[in-house]
Chains A and B, each alone.
Chain A
C-alpha cells in the first residue's frame, strides 16, 4: 500500500476546522498566559505572605507535573467538585495557566533586573508603589522578556495538540478523525504537521513585529 494524498482534499473541511480551533485555543491560552504571567509575577514578588505561599504551591503544581495530567485534572477532575467546564474552556485554562507560570518566572527575573533608579524616580514624582510598578517597572520588565515569552508561545502552540485528549476538535484530533475513516495516518499526520508549521510561521511573524515595535522604545 503506497502513499495516496488524493484522499486529503475530501477531509480538508475537517482539517481546516481543526486549524481554526487550534488557533483559537492557542490565542486564548496565549493571552491568558501573558496577563496571568504578569499578575503571578507581581503577586510572587510583592504579595503578602498569605498570598505568596499558596502561589508557590500552585506554581510547583504547574511546573512540576505533566501538562497532560493538568488537563485531565481540570476537565475530568473538577467535575467531581461541581465545576463542569466545556472542553475548550478547560483546554484554554489548562494551557494558559501552565504557561502563565513559566512566563511569570521570566517576568519576575526581569522585574528584579529593572534598575532601582526607575522605581526611585517614579516614587520621587509622587507615584505610589503600585502606580510605579504598573506604569514604570512592569512595562519595562515585560518588554525585556518579549523574546523568551515568544518562545514560550511557540511551545504553547505545539502543546495545544494535547487538548485533543479531552476532546477538543483541534488540528491533531481532526487529523485522527480523518485517519479513523481512511486508515491513512501518514498522509494526514503530514498534512497536520504542515498546518502546524504554517501557523508557527504566522506566529513568528507576529512576534517579530511586536519585538520590533518594542525595540524602538529602548
Chain B
C-alpha cells in the first residue's frame, strides 16, 4: 500500500556552502512518485547543485535527502558510505548536459556496462536489455556504433537509455538539451515526454520553458540559492507572483524570441 502523500523523494533543509559562499540556503523539496518537477532559474542559482545533491555527487553541507524510506546522504564511515551510496545510485538515473558517454565503448557497451558489472547479468540478458532500452529511445539501429559516430541528440538519447538500463526509480536531468543544436533538441524532448507518459519520477533542470510547461507537474524557480517561487506550470509561466520570477521569465522569453 502506498500513501500518496508520503513524498517519494524528499529533500529536507538542504544547505550547501563552499567556504563563505552559500550556494543552497535551506531548500526543501518533496517529489511524489510519478511526479515531474522542473527547476528553472538563472545560472549560478544553485539548481544544478541541488540536483547533484540528490545522488550525492555534490554532497550537502547540511540537510537530508531521502528516497522512499532510505536516507541517501546519511553519515557513515567512509567504506560503509561508499557501499551505501553505490547501492543508492543504482536507483537514481542521471543525464548530463555533455552526455558523458564512454567513448571507448560502443552504444551497446555504454548501456550494458553497469548492469553487467553491478547486477551480474549474462551476455544474453545484457543484449536483450540493451535492445529494449535503445528501442525505447529510438537508437536500436545504432547499437554497434561508437559515440563519436553519433550526433549530439543521438548521444543524449543513448545516455538516457544507459541510465534507464539500471531501472532507476528516479531520473535526474541536468540541462539535458542545453548543449544541443536547436534542431536536435526535439528528439531528446520526445524521449523525455515518453518517460513522462510512463510516469517516471523526474527532476529536470532546464532552460526549455516550453518543454517544462508542457511536461512538468510542478515548476520551481530558484535564484541565489533559494526557491523563490513554485507552483504548477500554468501559473508559474502565465502569471507568477514574484517579481524576480517575472523578470527572469521576461528576459528569458526575450532571448528565446531573438
> Could you list which residues of chain A lie within 8 angstroms of chain B, going by C-beta atoms?
115, 117-118, 120-129, 131, 135-136, 139-140, 143, 216-218
The answer on a CB contact under 8 Å between A218 and B89 is no
Q: Which residues on the A side are within 8 Å of B117 (C-beta)? A: 127, 131, 135
Q: Which residues on the A side are within 8 Å of B140 (C-beta)? A: none
Known contacts A118-B100, A135-B117, A218-B103; decide if A129 and B82 are in contact (CB<8 Å).
yes
The answer on a CB contact under 8 Å between A117 and B89 is no
Q: Produce 1/0 per residue, B96-113, CB < 8 A to A.
A: 101011111110000001
The answer on a CB contact under 8 Å between B114 and A127 is yes
Known contacts A117-B98, A120-B96; decide if A125 and B104 are in contact (CB<8 Å).
no
Known contacts A117-B96, A117-B98; decide if A140 and B89 are in contact (CB<8 Å).
no
Counting chain B residues whose Cβ lies within 8 A of the other chain, the interface size class is: 20 to 34
Q: Which residues on the B side are within 8 Å of A122 (C-beta)? A: 102, 113-114
> Could you list which residues of chain B lie within 8 angstroms of chain A, going by C-beta atoms?
55, 57, 82, 86-87, 89-90, 92-94, 96, 98, 100-106, 113-114, 117-118, 146, 148, 159, 162-163, 166
The answer on a CB contact under 8 Å between A143 and B100 is no
The answer on a CB contact under 8 Å between A117 and B100 is yes
Known contacts A120-B57, A121-B102; decide if A218 and B148 are in contact (CB<8 Å).
yes
Known contacts A118-B102, A135-B113, A217-B103; decide if A125 and B96 are in contact (CB<8 Å).
no
The answer on a CB contact under 8 Å between A125 and B57 is no
Q: Which residues on the A side are within 8 Å of B96 (C-beta)? A: 117, 120-121
Bound CA span A143–B166, Å = 27
Known contacts A120-B96, A218-B146; decide if A126 and B114 are in contact (CB<8 Å).
yes
The answer on a CB contact under 8 Å between B146 and A127 is no
Q: Chain A's interface: helix, strand, loop or mixed, by majority?
A: helix
- In the complex, residue of chain A having the shortest beta-carbon distance to the beta carbon of B88: A126
Bound CA span A216–B146, Å = 8
The answer on a CB contact under 8 Å between B89 and A126 is yes
The smallest C-beta distance from A49 to any residue of chain B, in angstroms, reads 15
Bound CA span A110–B100, Å = 17
The answer on a CB contact under 8 Å between B82 and A217 is no
Top 3 A-B residue pairs of the complex, sorted by shortest distance between their CB atoms: A121-B100, A126-B90, A125-B114
Bound CA span A111–B163, Å = 24
Using A125-B114, A136-B113 as known contacts, list a sample of 9 further A-B pairs with CB atoms less than 8 Å apart, ordered by residue number in A: A124-B163, A125-B89, A125-B113, A125-B118, A126-B87, A126-B89, A127-B114, A128-B82, A140-B103
Q: Which residues on the B side are within 8 Å of A131 (C-beta)? A: 117
Q: Which residues on the B side are within 8 Å of A121 (C-beta)? A: 94, 96, 100-102, 159
Q: Which residues on the A side are within 8 Å of B162 (C-beta)? A: 125
Known contacts A117-B98, A125-B166; decide if A143 and B104 are in contact (CB<8 Å).
yes
Q: Which residues on the B side are within 8 Å of A124 (C-beta)? A: 55, 57, 89, 92-94, 163
Q: Which residues on the B side are within 8 Å of A140 (C-beta)? A: 102-104
